[in-house]
């Protein structure tokens, strides 16, 4: 059975490895979102939950010609607002909107903030379609006493580490990195995973990365309900991928329990 057909339990971890969750939508340019009126309305709408303005995201473009590089062009691509702790951030620009958090408390809470972000961008920007939508979860596992690839073999599923006699399981391995890309109809699943061993003489733990990015680049009419249904599906897939990535020992060592 493939991960998109499985049902893994949603777990809460005492030693939560989740570092950041990001959802982003891209759409054809809405110049109105760059106007002072739209940005003032945006700030007013977000003031209750996201009162803190952050530095705008800027993109620098440099062209190269036979005569040499052109003068750098700096353009603001999104303005951002956060909560007081800067752990939850809304970004809205002329071609994108996103919500991200480094303090993930559950899908229902994240989902509500994401929906509010999408609705605000559409209301202020008059958005008619999207060109990309994605959801990304980045987990960094660090467990006391787990340093080598042999140690991680008790924590991480064999399907990630590879065969016992494979090169990646050599006890002298100090770093692994793997990227897998899958297509499921119009959706793309990118999984990056691997471990980095602690340098000799350092007492810190090694880290195992599980980075799951699911997205579509289909041109789809703008429909918040349809986007949220897609986000729900992506969240289920992320849950299943992470669930099949850990051994029962791994779940126990991270303090996993049902949500």
Kindly tell me if the per-residue pLDDT of 252 is higher than 90. yes
Collect all residues with Cβ–Cβ distance below 8 Å to 241 and sequence separation of at least 6. Answer: 3, 189, 191, 210, 212
Which pLDDT band, with edges at 50, 70 and 90, does 65 fall under? low
Which pLDDT band, with edges at 50, 70 and 90, does 168 fall under? confident
The angle subtended at Cα 105 by Cα 99 and Cα 108, nearest 5°, is 70
Kindly tell me if the per-residue pLDDT of 86 is higher than 50. yes
Which pLDDT band, with edges at 50, 70 and 90, does 71 fall under? low
Collect all residues with Cβ–Cβ distance below 8 Å to 60 and sequence separation of at least 6. Answer: 72, 73, 74
Kindly tell me if the per-residue pLDDT of 74 is higher than 50. no
pLDDT of residue 73: 45
Kindly tell me if the per-residue pLDDT of 237 is higher than 90. yes
**Higher pLDDT, residue 167 or 40:** 40
Which of 40-49, 139-148, 196-205: highest mean pLDDT?
Answer: 40-49
Asked whether 129 and 27 are in contact (CB, 8 A), the reply is yes
Kindly tell me if the per-residue pLDDT of 58 is higher than 60. no
Angle between the N-to-C axes of helices 36-46 and 107-125, in degrees from 0 to 180, rounded to the nearest 10: 150
pLDDT of residue 200: 66
Q: Region 126-141: what's the mean pLDDT?
A: 96
Kindly tell me if the per-residue pLDDT of 125 is higher than 80. yes
Q: For the residues of 32-86, what is the DSSP string, one character each?
A: GGGSHHHHHHHHHHHTTT--EEEEEEEEEE--EETTEEPPPEEEEEEEEEE-TTS
Asked whether 94 and 30 are in contact (CB, 8 A), the reply is yes
Tell me 169's DSSP state: G
* Average pLDDT, rounded, for the chain: 89
Which pLDDT band, with edges at 50, 70 and 90, does 44 fall under? very high
Reduced to 3 states (helix: H, G, I; strand: E, B; else coil), residue 104 is coil
Please write the tens of the pLDDT for every residue from 192-218.
999 887 766 666 678 999 999 999 999
Share of the chain above pLDDT 90, in %: 68
Asked whether 22 and 100 are in contact (CB, 8 A), the reply is yes
- pTM for this model (two decimals): 0.88
Share of the chain above pLDDT 70, in %: 89
Please write the tens of the pLDDT for every residue from 27-36.
999 999 999 9
Phi, psi of 145 (to 5 degrees): 85, -5
Asked whether 70 and 61 are in contact (CB, 8 A), the reply is no
Q: For the residues of 187-217, what is the DSSP string, one character each?
A: EEEEEEEEEEPPPTT--SPPEEEEEEEEEE-
């Amino acid at each position: 059975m493939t991960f998109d057909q499985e049902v893994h339990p949603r777990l809460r971890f005492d030693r939560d490895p989740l570092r950041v969750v990001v959802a982003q939508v891209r759409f054809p340019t809405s110049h109105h979102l760059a106007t002072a009126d739209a940005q003032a309305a945006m700030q007013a709408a977000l003031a209750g939950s996201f009162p803190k303005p952050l530095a705008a995201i800027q993109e620098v473009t440099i062209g190269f010609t036979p005569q040499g590089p052109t003068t750098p062009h700096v353009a603001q691509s999104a303005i951002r607002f956060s909560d007081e702790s800067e752990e939850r951030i809304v970004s809205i620009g002329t071609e994108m909107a996103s919500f991200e958090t480094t303090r993930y408390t559950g899908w229902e809470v994240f989902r509500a903030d994401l929906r509010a972000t999408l609705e605000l961008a559409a209301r202020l920007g008059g958005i008619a379609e999207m060109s990309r939508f994605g959801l990304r979860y980045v987990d960094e596992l660090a467990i006391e006493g787990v340093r080598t690839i042999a140690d991680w073999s008790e924590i991480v599923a064999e399907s990630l580490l590879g065969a016992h006699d494979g090169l990646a399981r050599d006890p002298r391995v100090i770093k692994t990195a793997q990227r897998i890309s899958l297509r499921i109809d119009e959706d793309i699943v990118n999984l990056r995973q691997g471990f980095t061993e602690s340098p000799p003489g350092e007492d810190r733990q090694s880290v195992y990365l599980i980075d799951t990015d699911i997205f579509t680049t289909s041109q789809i009419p703008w429909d918040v309900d349809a986007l949220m249904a897609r986000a729900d599906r992506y969240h289920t897939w992320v849950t299943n991928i992470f669930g099949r990535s850990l051994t029962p020992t791994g779940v126990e060592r991270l303090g996993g329990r049902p949500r």
